Amino acid sequence: MRMRSKPWAKPELEACPFFVRRGEEQKGRWHEWFPSRQPIHLELGCGKGYFIAGLAPEHPEINYIGIDLKDVVLAPAKRVIDAAFGEKPVQNVALTGHDIERIPEIMDEHDRVERIYINFCNPWPKPRHWKRRLTYPTRLRDYRALLDPQGEIWFKTDDGPLYRDTLRYLEEAGYQVYWCTEDLHADPCGDEITVMTEHERMFSAQGIPIKALKARIS
């Protein structure tokens, strides 16, 4: 989907204290970027920030990194996160722009994360494009290098074929799926996975069941 240019986006991000302009300069040092060294949760494709905004103010004991490709997306995320914190300073969130396909350029084994969230990524339905999926086995193997030994991937989608393929991809990449559902909001588990993204609210309003899973390194 083509997004309209936002002239205000770049200057607003440049002035944002929790925006990391050059993620590659933090490679191997993400834990040091935050004021407090504590577990990191990483959202790949954070979009307009509603998911992190729903989590970070309630979990000051966790540091959150949101990655997306363009400032046209991250600038609205900055505003959503600011609003969620209100008068409080944002100290446990970092936003950075980078192509998730090239995440090894900005993170390595020194940046171990406790959890990776992948919410409503592009399903790339045509077989010739499957390798672009954020849950394709080669990508999942890249993520293993970033996860703690007990680290987990939490995944949500509205797309049935992507959900079913991801179950298989995880097994191929050496993960164990320990929880899954094909209708998250009819079968809630009462934890952070039920925090809704912008797309999730839209799909749920249309009556589309949300598929979700949790997996750990096996």
Enumerate the domain spans of the chain: 9-217
> Is residue 173 predicted with pLDDT exceeding 60?
yes
More confident residue, 13 or 189: 13
CA–CA separation, 163 and 212 (whole Å): 8
Percent of the chain with pLDDT over 70: 97
Q: Residues 65, 40: contact at Cβ < 8 Å? A: yes
Give me the mean pLDDT over the 55-84 stretch: 95
Residue corresponding to tokens 């400032």? 71
In CATH, what number does 9-217 get? 3.40.50.150
Give me the mean pLDDT over the 112-122 stretch: 97
Residue 1, pLDDT score: 47
Q: What is the pLDDT of residues 129-168, one digit of tens each?
A: 999 999 999 999 999 999 999 999 999 999 999 999 999 9
Q: Residues 105, 142: contact at Cβ < 8 Å? A: no
Residue 7, pLDDT score: 83
> Is residue 188 predicted with pLDDT exceeding 70?
no
Residue 4, pLDDT score: 62
- Taking every pair of Cα atoms in the chain, the longest distance, rounded to a whole number of angstroms, is 48
54: which DSSP letter?
H
Burial class (CB in 10 A: 0-12, 13-18, 19+), 1: exposed
Q: What is the pLDDT of residues 27-38, one digit of tens each?
A: 999 999 999 999
Burial class (CB in 10 A: 0-12, 13-18, 19+), 35: exposed
Residue 3, pLDDT score: 55
CA–CA separation, 135 and 131 (whole Å): 9
> Is residue 193 predicted with pLDDT exceeding 90?
no
Mean pLDDT of the residues in the chain:
94
**pTM score of the predicted model:** 0.94
